[in-house]
Structure 1
Amino acid sequence: MTTTSENAPSTQPPAPTREPRRSRPPIVAGRRPRKEIVLVGTFVVVPLLAVAAAVPAAWGWGIGWTDIGLVAFFYALSGLGVTVGFHRYFTHGSFRTVRPLRIGLAVAGSMAMQGPVISWVADHRRHHAYADREGDPHSPWRFGTTATALVKGFWHAHVGWLFDRDMTNIERFAPDLLADRDIVRVNRLFPLLSAATLLLPALLGGLLTWSWTGALTGFFWAGLVRIALLHHVTWSVNSICHMLGERPFRSRDRSANFWPLAIASFGESWHNSHHADPTCARHGVERGQLDISAAVIRLFERLGWAWKVRWPTPQRLEKLRQP
């Protein structure tokens, strides 16, 4: 008769251990440093002061065709960098593209001085996840529906939210961009690109007119004034387009199509259409709705630089339309 020692190894497999369930990262990641708040204030106030000085400056100096050309070029470059790049490509994946264009879109969008690409995308994805509800970083309905609350909400949605001390958690809302080495590099270069977006118009203005006056007016009009105009057009999509306009499509929020901003925003103000179908590459989906960003994406597609573009279909639109 044999006996088994109490210390002999067991022939039974060990009981499976259940790994602890991972909780989702929070939507905010700490408090924004005070020096960053001051920097944001500088980016907001200085271009705005330039706009305030624009009328007397135009009266005193005038504005030449060189200045107008530079404003148009840099407004389109940085504006489409935001709408096509930061928004429709990086945030919503409305199309696929080649590596050089991906980097170029990140650089061009950074030159709008609206923040580094990764934090911009994280903020906007958070906006869509919680649109016009608690957690939305810039809803105009945050404080209620009374007249006083809406005035306060408009200010918050338009520019006040930029001074909020809570930072969106980029690890939760933009992990794909954090894993992209090219985009991380561009993200780190934001201060340099911010300087470039102001100095390049001055350099070109000086070279094209071969004068210091041309450099000064290039810096003023195509640098400061252009940045301020682009800021407020983008911010108006956050504020006005969640308060005024038409809502032909179903969405979980109060987004609206506001046609007066369609050209200046490169098609971003067809906001109800966008919130109803966020990954769609075209926001102006109805007949006669101009969408310059969609036209640029179409050009990229024809050149072979973009593919798997998410274009709207009649069947999809009918499913989304309000009854």
Structure 2
Amino acid sequence: MTTRSDVIADAPKPNDDTPHPAATLGGETKGTVEQLALLLFIVVPFLALLAAVPLAWGWGVSWLDLGLLVFFYFLGCHGVTIGFHRYFTHGSFKAKRPLRIALAIAGSLAVEGPLVRWVADHRRHHKFSDAEGDPHSPWRFGETLPALMKGLWWAHIGWMFDEERTPQEKYAPDLIRDGAIRAISRQFLYWTMLSLALPAVIGGLVTMSWWGAFTGFFWGSLVRVCLLHHVTWSINSICHAVGKRPFKSRDRSGNVWWLAVLSCGESWHNLHHADPTSARHGVMRGQLDSSARIIRWFEMLGWAYDVRWPSRSRIDSRRNNDGDGSGRQKEAAEAA
């Protein structure tokens, strides 16, 4: 099992070796203003998602608005899955400096929090996965049905309102020492405003109307952010409560096939926890993993290198032979 220290040791070396513990966004606890802002960013896009059905039924949705929703959804989603998660958190590959910066910005456009904080939370999650200390395990309150229902809510949304914050200096010192990455993380509010504004600006300019700007903002910003957030949060909640477990891991991570496309391959979560630094999560036949495919393209272009593709022997060594049937699957897809 890969440890947090292994991940930090394997991470790309920063240019700035001087620690800046006070240079990240946010302190050790969440304040009231921040919690209210978080609530606003959860409730408003969700209300937009609820309104999307009658709006689409009454006025329809244009191809432009649909295109904006899909483009910005998968831009932010891959920014998180490839950048925040597989690259910055786990060091699944190394990247040339321009790609490193681009991944940091693309992930920030997903509006899921500052980069350094996101990475710190996720490294802590892997250190204590589904045990005491895990910031968002659905098994936090026990294994009875009422406890699991409460835990699913906690893992999906509730944990984000916890006043205690993961120490960034402890869990992400490599990112804090990198001046450019530290700056992108601190500028999260600006990336959020850009992410929300771009669909409206594009919609308005293409249609040359305020209505086009409004519908671009509605579908390409609000509805898109809501969908992406809940898919991402489902990896914390649903994928740690249900799903097949063909690989050995020390937690309850499972594969949830119906989330694979929308999560860009992240819902093949059991393999990820069995082999956290693997650049590919969907390693069995038919398991779509668009993030791994894009990493392969980066590698072919020379932008990414030292990619940790899983070999067949490595996959087989992690198979679960506990007799539940899931461990008897023998067909592994070719890496990426």
TM-score normalized with structure 1 length = 0.90
**Structure 2 Cα separation of the partners of residues 30 and 56 of structure 1:** 42
Show CA shifts across 1:246-290 (max 9, x none): 000000100000000000000000000000000000000111100
Number of the residue aligned with 2:281: 283
**Structure 1 Cα separation of the partners of residues 28 and 93 of structure 2:** 33
Number of the residue aligned with 1:61: 59
Number of the residue aligned with 2:130: 132
Show CA shifts across 1:271-310 (max 9, x none): 0000000000000011110000000000000000000000
Among all aligned residue pairs of Structure 1 and Structure 2, give the percentage whose two residues are the same amino acid.
Answer: 61
Number of the residue aligned with 1:293: 291
Number of the residue aligned with 2:31: 33
Show CA shifts across 1:135-168 (max 9, x none): 0000000000111101000000011111111100
1:186 Cα deviation from its structure 2 partner:
0.3
Letter of the aligned partner of 1:115 in structure 2?
A: G
Mapping 1:213-232, distance limit 5 Å: 213-232=211-230
1:61 Cα deviation from its structure 2 partner:
2.7
Number of the residue aligned with 1:270: 268
Letter of the aligned partner of 2:197 in structure 1?
A: L
**Structure 2 Cα separation of the partners of residues 43 and 265 of structure 1:** 20
Query: Which runs of 5 or more structure 1 residues have no equivalent in the other structure?
Result: 1-28
Asked if structure 2 preserves the Cα contact closer than 8 Å seen for 1:43 and 1:113, the reply is no
Asked if structure 2 preserves the Cα contact closer than 8 Å seen for 1:86 and 1:106, the reply is yes
Letter of the aligned partner of 2:297 in structure 1?
A: L
Number of the residue aligned with 1:111: 109
Show CA shifts across 1:99-140 (max 9, x none): 111111111111111100000000000000000000000000
* Aligned with residue 210 of structure 1, among 208, 211, 228: 208
**Structure 2 Cα separation of the partners of residues 319 and 67 of structure 1:** 46
**Structure 2 Cα separation of the partners of residues 125 and 256 of structure 1:** 18
Letter of the aligned partner of 2:314 in structure 1?
A: R
Number of the residue aligned with 1:252: 250
Larger radius of gyration between Structure 1 and Structure 2: 1
Number of the residue aligned with 2:168: 170
Write out the 4+ residue segments of structure 1 that deviate beyond 3 Å after TM superposition.
none
SS for the counterpart of 2:165 is strand
Q: How many residues align?
A: 295
Letter of the aligned partner of 2:103 in structure 1?
A: L
**Structure 2 Cα separation of the partners of residues 294 and 151 of structure 1:** 32
1:209 Cα deviation from its structure 2 partner:
1.4
SS for the counterpart of 1:167 is coil
* Aligned with residue 304 of structure 2, among 292, 295, 306: 306
* Aligned with residue 83 of structure 1, among 58, 62, 81: 81
Structure 1 residues 95 and 76: alpha-carbon distance in aligned structure 2, compared to 1, 3 A threshold = same
Show CA shifts across 1:59-81 (max 9, x none): 23320000011111101111100
Asked if structure 2 preserves the Cα contact closer than 8 Å seen for 1:134 and 1:142, the reply is yes
**Structure 2 Cα separation of the partners of residues 36 and 81 of structure 1:** 24
Asked if structure 2 preserves the Cα contact closer than 8 Å seen for 1:283 and 1:291, the reply is yes
**Structure 1 Cα separation of the partners of residues 309 and 192 of structure 2:** 33
Number of the residue aligned with 2:328: none
CA RMSD of aligned residues (A): 0.8
Query: Which runs of 5 or more structure 2 residues have no equivalent in the other structure?
Result: 1-26, 322-336
**Structure 2 Cα separation of the partners of residues 280 and 80 of structure 1:** 16
